[in-house]
Amino acid sequence: MGQTIAEKIFSYHSGKKVFAGDFVIVELDLVMAHDTTCAWAIDPFYEIAKKVWDKKKIIIPFDHAFPAPNIAMAKLQNKIRVFAKEQNIPIHTNGVCHQIMAESFINPGFLVLGADSHTPTGGGLGALTIGVGSTDAAIAMATGTCWFKVPQTIRIEISGKLKQGVYAKDVVLSIAKQFGPEGGNYRVLEYAGPTVMSFNVSSRLTLTNMSAEMGAKAAIVAPDKRTAQYLKENGRQYLLNKDLNSDEDARYEKIIHIDVTNLTPQIAMPPDIDNVEEVRKLEKKRIKVDQVFIGSCTNCRIEDLDVVYKIWKKNRPNTSLRIIVTPASKRVYLQALAKGYIKFFTELGVQILNPGCGPCLGRHGGVLYDGEVCVSTSNRNFTGRMGSPKAFIYLTSPATAAATAVAGYIADPRSFLN
Amino acid sequence: MNWFFKNNINTDLITPGRYNITTDPYELAKIVFIEHKPEFAGKVKKGDVIIAGANFGCGSSRETAVTALKACGIQYIIAKSFARIFYRNCINAGLYAITADTDLINNKDNIVIDTKKKTIINKTKNILIPADISPLMAKIHEYGGIIPLLKKKGLKQFKKIII
């Protein structure tokens, strides 16, 4: 019987041929925990171990609130620094964890554990990257292993050419509308079809990242020449020597076909990910916006900033709004610097924050007040996520966010791109 | 006491990102549901039960959501379904997360949970509700969590304990 990509990766890491429903203990390639989840893993770790299983395979990024915005956060980061020093593990301060994992660490076929819910992002490179809590991360740091029930896979085949002004984010928001916040729970979402394979890695990472919002255990795109190209651009070799394609007779829980030819820009309205509407419909309501946030592991790679630049080059943003751009990583920041975007955006009155999670989780740099409206390129519009529980968060593509920054109200980007 | 919650209660509602910047369970117990249900932390008592709809614990992987609920005294969380990371965190913490049809439990119903028989007895309605409890969760619960269990049995026993 054939296997899905996920079943193959679980098989390669458990030493036996496994299928959905099997219970496995796997050997991990990497374990990631960041500046909050790592802090919670340290005490449990020292309860059961003295030394980490392999210091080269543990990645600790500081991104959720770095540099520390308050004493409580400084205390957590200090706790991690002490641990990292004791274990001789470097701390990475060059961007959002999922972005730097993609740029520098994840290879196709890897099985990676991450103490963060958006860990499925790395599946955009053809790896199986799974989110867990801090205790699982602590045990993994001690043993290099983790247990799993091999999940069912839902294959999402996407066809059709996206129209101008419509992007991977709009595609995945339309999928979230269909799936809801539980539609992918315990499953692997395997994105396939000509549209997905035409996407660059940046866009694929947007699909896999948002899969976490549908509850997915992991999300994956089969690696191909674009994956190889991405690795090369990031100074890495494509080390793949194993089959990472789903077999034709693989068993899926279901296969869904989506044609995106007529898709328009989408927006997730507060406070749910599946509360999705067409931007053109909301535009008519002239919803006044206080803050625009272009950042996060979902959407602030250089390809995203290319689109923002294209819109703002012709249409000056309205700086009565607070406009925040947080490049996803140091690499993206330097790319934006080289292309002149950082200077251009700064002169327009846009606030450029250091690479990291930025305002996405409401800890620093762009916290919202009661009644304020934010249009964000991030992945969560939960009540209270970015500050006051009385604030309103709308999720869009970078193009819609950039268009909104110009208009001052939620705006369809298509009229700004002609 | 039974505390009722709707579908899709996310971990940002349980321990909001702005408040969960600590590793201390007792500090976390003070901020649990601080904005979503402000009276909760003050009134919750040891042995209380959460009864919820589908997809309880969705969103962020933050284990503080489970740590806080356990520290404030919650004994069981019964929901139609759980988000997977939250569920794993409950297994590891030794906090019972029980899957059952919570539509069969109303606000003032007197319920008894029999974890051995995997049944919830609704005494008010005089019905038995089947309850799904993972055997691994039950095993880990006996030791008060995976870490005390591993401490007692030794890390080398990890695979044996799990499978």
Residues 116-155 on B with a CB inside 8 Å of A are: 145-148, 150-151, 155
**Burial environment of residue A75 by CB neighbours within 10 A (0 to 12, 13 to 18, 19 or more):** middle
Give the pLDDT confidence of B12-52 residue by residue, as tens digits: 999 999 898 999 999 999 999 999 999 999 999 999 999 99
The answer to whether A299 touches A377, Cβ cutoff 8 Å, is yes
pLDDT beyond 80 at B124: yes
| A183 part of contact set with chain B, CB < 8 Å | no
Write b or e for each residue in A179-203: b if 16 or more Cβ atoms lie within 10 A of its Cβ, otherwise e: bbbbbbbbbbbbbbbebbeebebbb
**Burial environment of residue A85 by CB neighbours within 10 A (0 to 12, 13 to 18, 19 or more):** exposed
Would you list the DSSP string of B105-155? --TT--EEEETTTTEEEETTTTEEEE-B--HHHHHHHHTTSHHHHHHHH-G
* CB–CB contact A47 B147 (8 Å): yes
Of B18, B54, B66, which has the smallest distance from its Cβ to A362's Cβ? Answer: B18
DSSP state of A291: E
Residue A216: strand pairing partners: A185
Fold assignment, A5-259: Aconitase; domain 3 (3.30.499)
- ipTM (interface pTM): 0.97
DSSP state of A415: G
Percent of chain B with pLDDT over 70: 100
Sheet harboring A254-259: ordered strands across? A218-221, A188-192, A153-159, A254-259
pLDDT beyond 80 at B145: yes
B92 interaction partners in chain A (CB closer than 8 Å): 133, 135-136
* CB–CB contact B21 A142 (8 Å): no
Q: Report the distance separating Cα A267 and Cα A173, nearest Å.
A: 7
* pLDDT attached to residue A227: 96
A42 interaction partners in chain B (CB closer than 8 Å): 23
DSSP state of B157: G
Where chain A has pLDDT below 70, the residues are none
Q: CA nearest A361 in B: which residue?
A: B17
The answer to whether A50 touches A151, Cβ cutoff 8 Å, is no
Q: How confident is the model at residue B157 (pLDDT cuts 50, 70, 90)?
A: confident
Average pLDDT over residues B137-160: 94
Of B16, B23, B83, which has the smallest distance from its Cβ to A40's Cβ? Answer: B23
Average pLDDT over residues B47-73: 97
Q: How far is CA A347 from CA A293, A303, A304, A319, B64, in A?
A: 17, 21, 19, 11, 41
Q: How confident is the model at residue B63 (pLDDT cuts 50, 70, 90)?
A: very high
End-to-end Cα spacing for chain A:
50
* CATH label, A267-416, candidates 3.30.365.10, 3.40.50.2300, 3.40.718.10, 3.30.499.10: 3.30.499.10
The answer to whether A380 touches B9, Cβ cutoff 8 Å, is no
A297 interaction partners in chain B (CB closer than 8 Å): none
| A49 part of contact set with chain B, CB < 8 Å | yes
CB atoms within 10 A of CB B152: 10
Identify whether A67 is preceded by a cis peptide bond (ω within 30 of 0).
yes
Write b or e for each residue in B59-94: b if 16 or more Cβ atoms lie within 10 A of its Cβ, otherwise e: bbbbbbbbbbbbbbebebbbbbbbbbbbbbbbbbbb
Q: Report the distance separating Cα A29 and Cα A7, nearest Å.
A: 16
Identify whether A359 is preceded by a cis peptide bond (ω within 30 of 0).
no
* CB–CB contact B61 A145 (8 Å): no
Fold assignment, B2-162: Aconitase; domain 4 (3.20.19)
| Residue B100 in tokens | 């059952």
Domains in chain A: boundaries: 5-259, 267-416
Q: CA nearest B93 in A: which residue?
A: A135
Please give the single-letter amino acid code of residue A172.
V
**Burial environment of residue A167 by CB neighbours within 10 A (0 to 12, 13 to 18, 19 or more):** buried
* pLDDT attached to residue A303: 98
Domains in chain B: boundaries: 2-162
A40 interaction partners in chain B (CB closer than 8 Å): 23, 63-64, 67
* pLDDT attached to residue A122: 98
| A138 part of contact set with chain B, CB < 8 Å | yes
* pLDDT attached to residue A12: 97
* CB–CB contact A133 B62 (8 Å): yes
Among candidate residues A34, A188, A385, the one with its CA nearest the CA of residue A374: A385
* pLDDT attached to residue A241: 74
The SS3 assignment for A303 reads helix
Q: Report the distance separating Cα A170 and Cα A165, nearest Å.
A: 9
Among candidate residues B54, B63, B83, B59, the one with its CA nearest the CA of residue A380: B59
Chain A nearest C-alpha distance from B125 (Å)? 30
